[in-house]
Structure 1
Amino acid sequence: MHNKLRFGIWLMAVLSVLLVFARPTQAQAAANPSAFANRQGLLIDLGRHPLSEPDLQRVIQAAADQKFHYVVLHLSDNEHLSFQSKYLKNKATKTVLSPAALKRLVKFASARHVQLVPALDVPAHTGALLRQLKKTHPKDYRRVKLDSQSLDYTHKATVTLVKKLYQELDASFKNQPQRALLLGADEVPGTDNMYRQLTTFINQLNQFQNKRGYTTIVWNDSLLKSQLKKLNRNIVVNYWSQSGNRATTKALTNRRTKRVSVSDLLNAKRTIVNANSYATYYQLQFIGNAANDQYFIDYLRDAYRPYFFNEINAAGQNQDRTYEPRVTTTGTLVSLWGHDAQGVQTSAIVDFIHKLTVPK
């Protein structure tokens, strides 16, 4: 009798341990790439058009009013770092948002059923990050610098650096039902051989983020067809352009041959968000120009559909209305980029957002 009792207690203990290890953790359960397949997002470029916390509240409110499901905060670029980092030792200012300010924005957005997605674009578009790193960690700077605007994604020190920065941002954005981070990986300089290492770089950061409950998002233009099988399957792809804004016949032919198409991604069963660089991209500098504003608003509403992508056709021409009939999802990202937009007021941006209609 005592032996049976001891065996029963032992068996229950073993089963309890197995259940603990089998049960997904809260962090693991939060990573959900499929959540983006049928949601509409809005990106605001704070790397080239910095905004204060009150201004961002107005942008988030406008996005909520227009039924956007999430807002991407493009927090850095070559021009500016819009977030304070303990590791980088930059100071919080009106347009350099502290961790506390970011947490308040998350709370503000969540109350309006809007997810906030941070974007710390790597390895390219990192000029401002590199300049700050040179001031505070010159040895790290020399290890990770590829050029004045890019991190060396072939060096393990770069992965270590980015993990430190993502870990800080994760802490500010974690209190949301769904968590995601836009890694970037767009317009990356390098050879095809280096791009193979780019895949490894992306995968390492994705796995790190997954453990912390974050879905990873990347842009499409630096992904090679030959590397797609090696890219982690749970990464979301924002598809903006197969050409990457290249225009020469040679470049277009090369990119059609080597860079992933929508069909490639569909065949690989990847989650795609349509970020068509003709239909869903707008420069903040044009806001206030009535003709430009109305053209974009009308084209987005009337001509764009979630199955029209920006790809290179068989004739080697960039085609912004490439019909992909196999796409049945409605995920769309509207991006507001901030080149040369210093004089544009937040009120004008908010008014513009209130005029946006994204077809589903």
Structure 2
Amino acid sequence: MSNRIINFNAGPAVLPVDVLEQAQSELLNFNDTGMSILEISHRSKPYEAVNNEAEANLKELLGLGEDYQVLFVQGGASTQFAMVPLNFLTPRRTADYILTGVWSEKALKEAKLVGQTHIAATTAKDNYRRIPELAEIQLSDNPAYIHITSNNTIFGTQWRELPNFSGNIPLIADMSSDILCRPFDASKFALIYAGAQKNLGPSGVTAVIIRRDLAENNPKTIPTMLRYETHAANHSLYNTPPTFGVYLLNLVLRWIKAQGGLASLEQRNLAKAKLIYDVIDDSHGFYRGHADKSSRSIMNITFRLPNEELEKLFVAESIAAGMAGLKGHRSVGGLRASIYNAMPVDGCRALRDFMKEFCRKHG
């Protein structure tokens, strides 16, 4: 597909070409039903099979058993910011948040509307250049749960080592931008949520991996659609789900398994990130990475140039070179390369070569 550009957008983001081609081939007639997956009832056996396989594939990749359930819901991570405290922040308890960027701030903002909160750690004073050290985290006396954001798309930071806390405090994570990029112990988390549009599939579906005991006896005082037990009891089919999104998400999960799983993807993701970070580090200050080296993300690489005029020129010339999405988030400016699982190594090599040549011409 020579007419495709190299897509560094942060989300919706690049999808595997193999997945897109399979979806294209099945679009008019899915699984010999004579209908498109876009037309099939969510109550039908063909769609139920898709839904069940997607849940099984995600649990398999995460190494989780029957004590966990996968929910496919709508509203993105932004709705999860509210659902988490609505379901779990009870009176006389405190929700602990570790702030590492804009999205964790937004999650905290929603929790404050529900009940008592506590900032267990923050690197805001460092302009979110780093992830807090474990020694910096100070929990409240009686946490209802602890919330983290595993990867930060805007600032380009990522937890190198995911935290672990003693006791039975539920650990909850927004993993929208790095889920399945590497192996990790998912069983230490009580709940993981992720908008699909970065590393799992298309926009419109959100995956929630929840321990079954947390999906029971949620408060009846909150709306039905905002209770996890509603979706858990109905296997994500209480209302019409984002059927096409779940179908594509399942194709991505199949693709990940075909690549060799998370261990294989981690090695490839590390190699891809190194190609670009090496250019930044070897540029003698022409490229300035935002994140401290100890907290660098392997999914979102953020950097600046000596001035904004050069940054605008960089974006313009990269577009002319067949690349898209390298402009930084509107809230912070600069430049950003999002290199999710589906970004091929050749795409990162092309960016590396472009960055070297741009530095040679303008450095």
Q: TM-score, normalised by structure 2?
A: 0.27
**More RCO (CA 8 Å, sep 6+):** 2
CA radius of gyration, larger in:
1
